[in-house]
Structures are given as C-alpha cells and as structure tokens.
C-alpha cells in the first residue's frame, strides 16, 4: 500500500497536498503523520501503527457510529504479529463503552451493541482499499482509584483488525494468520482460556529481540 503511494508521489508533502483536493471532494482523510512516521512507513517498519476510533455519532446522519482514523503513529515497541506479517496489515480500533451512550442515541440503545457485534463478526470489511477481519478484542480499563476495593472504569474496547487482502497485499486469511501463531493441530486440546491468553501475549507490545554475538563467543570446530 505505502509502496504504491510512494511510487506515485515523490514525498509526503506532495501526497498531503493532493489529499486536500480529495477532502474538497468530500472524501475523509486522516490527519498527516509526522515526517519520521511517514518515512518509517515507507521502509515497511514494524513500529508504524495504524489506529482509529469508533465514536458515537450524534449528528443528523442515519448512522449511530462513525470511524475516525488517526495519523500514523511511530512507536518504540511492536508485537509478534506486526513483526511477522508487517504492521501495515493491522488496524487497531478503539470502541466506546456501550454503557455510556449519549442522550440523543438513547432511542437506539437496544440496536447499538448487537449491530456492533454483527459488524465485528462479518469478514472482509472494506476500508482503505483493503478487506479487514477482526481477530482479537479486549476491554480497556482505566484505574479509578488506588484502592483495591474500587472497580476500574470501563473505557470501551480495543479491536485488532487484519487486512486479509488489498492493494499490494497477497491474500492471507485470519485462519492462516492464527495457525501460524498457534498451530491448530498441535494446540486443539488447549482450553479456550489458555488459547485466548496466548493470543493476548501475541498482540501485546514488546521490544524487538536483538541478539548480539561477539567474536569471543565464536568457536571454530574442525569436522
């Protein structure tokens, strides 16, 4: 995806200048990223993260939710999925808490949660020239107090989407992605709790492992 953009536009300034023309035609574009994030994305860095937020839409549209894409973010850590398949194939979405629905949408309260669940379960959601499928969801919590007797505040959900196909992307199904991470034939006897715990580790951010070997650590062996 980025390689196609870079082959057409010499630099990020030309691209974002052109994007103003697209916005004038009514197309929604995310805000420009930092120069470092753009350059790192062009190199295919695993540290460039694509994120977005699903917000309640209290406007006059018929929809009760809207998607807002964030600028590309350059992080210092990544996870196993990003390092294996490339961070460009993943999109992290933040969903709101459905226990705190704005007043104008109260009449649609009974529809919102089931509709969101239905949307997440549908494969091949089309966005940004790719088809996406959700493969991991977790609740987001914010510490309300240091007291162990106080419950954490619900801050919604974090959903990880995987681009199964799209511009410059070979087709890879979610089944194939998860089978690489946790081979099904070898792990089919695991409990659901253990399988989800391993998946949680796979999407957790860690430092990229670097192994440095000095000359003194090498031994010549005559065969």
Instruction: Give the span between the Cα atoms of 197 and 200, in whole angstroms.
Output: 5
Tokens of 30: 């995310």
Q: Are 178 and 135 spatial neighbours (Cβ–Cβ below 8 Å)?
A: yes
Give residue-wise pLDDT tens across range 41-67: 888 899 999 999 999 888 777 778 889
Give the model's pLDDT for residue 150.
Answer: 46
Rounded to a whole number of angstroms, the distance between the first and last alpha carbons of the chain is 48
Give the model's pLDDT for residue 154.
Answer: 62
For the chain, what is the mean pLDDT?
83
129 alpha-carbon distance from chain centroid = 15
Give the model's pLDDT for residue 8.
Answer: 56
Tokens of 56: 């309640």
Give the model's pLDDT for residue 175.
Answer: 95
Locus of tokens 């240091």:
146
Is a pLDDT exceeding 60 seen at residue 7?
no
- pTM as predicted: 0.81
Q: Are 210 and 204 spatial neighbours (Cβ–Cβ below 8 Å)?
A: no
Give the model's pLDDT for residue 159.
Answer: 95
Instruction: Give the span between the Cα atoms of 58 and 128, in whole angstroms.
Output: 24
Give the model's pLDDT for residue 65.
Answer: 86
DSSP, residue by residue, 42-95 = HTT-TTEE-EEEEEE--SSSS-SEEEEEPPPEE-S-B-HHHHHH-GGGEEEEEE
With cut-offs at 50, 70 and 90, classify the pLDDT of residue 146.
Answer: low
132 alpha-carbon distance from chain centroid = 10
Which of 2-11, 79-88, 194-203 is the least confident region? 2-11
Give the model's pLDDT for residue 148.
Answer: 52
Give residue-wise pLDDT tens across range 150-189: 445 568 899 999 999 998 899 999 999 999 999 999 998 8
Q: State how beta strands 153-166 and 90-95 pair.
A: antiparallel
Instruction: Give the span between the Cα atoms of 152 and 157, in whole angstroms.
Output: 14
Per the document, the length of the chain is: 223
DSSP, residue by residue, 165-189 = EETTB----HHHHHHHHS-HHHHTT
Give the model's pLDDT for residue 149.
Answer: 44
Tokens of 107: 């009449």
Give the model's pLDDT for residue 203.
Answer: 95
């Amino acid at each position: 995806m980025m390689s196609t953009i870079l082959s057409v536009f010499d630099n990020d300034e030309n691209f974002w200048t052109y994007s103003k023309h697209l916005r004038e035609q009514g197309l929604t574009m995310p805000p420009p990223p930092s120069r470092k994030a753009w350059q790192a994305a062009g190199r295919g860095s695993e540290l460039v993260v694509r994120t977005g937020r699903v917000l309640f839409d209290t406007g006059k549209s018929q929809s009760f939710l809207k998607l807002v894409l964030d600028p590309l973010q350059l992080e210092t850590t990544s996870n196993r999925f990003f390092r294996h398949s490339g961070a460009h194939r993943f999109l992290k979405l933040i969903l709101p808490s459905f226990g705190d629905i704005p007043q104008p949408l109260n009449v649609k309260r009974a529809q919102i949660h089931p509709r969101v669940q239905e949307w997440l379960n549908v494969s091949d959601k089309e966005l940004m020239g790719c088809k996406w499928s959700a493969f991991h969801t977790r609740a987001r919590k914010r510490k309300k107090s240091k007291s162990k007797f106080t419950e954490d505040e619900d801050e919604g959900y974090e959903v990880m989407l995987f681009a199964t196909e799209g511009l410059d992307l070979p087709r890879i199904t979610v089944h194939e992605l998860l089978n690489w991470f946790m081979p099904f034939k070898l792990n089919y006897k695991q409990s659901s709790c253990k399988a989800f715990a391993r998946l949680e580790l796979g999407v957790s951010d860690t430092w990229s492992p670097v192994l440095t070997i000095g000359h003194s650590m090498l031994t010549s062996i005559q065969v």
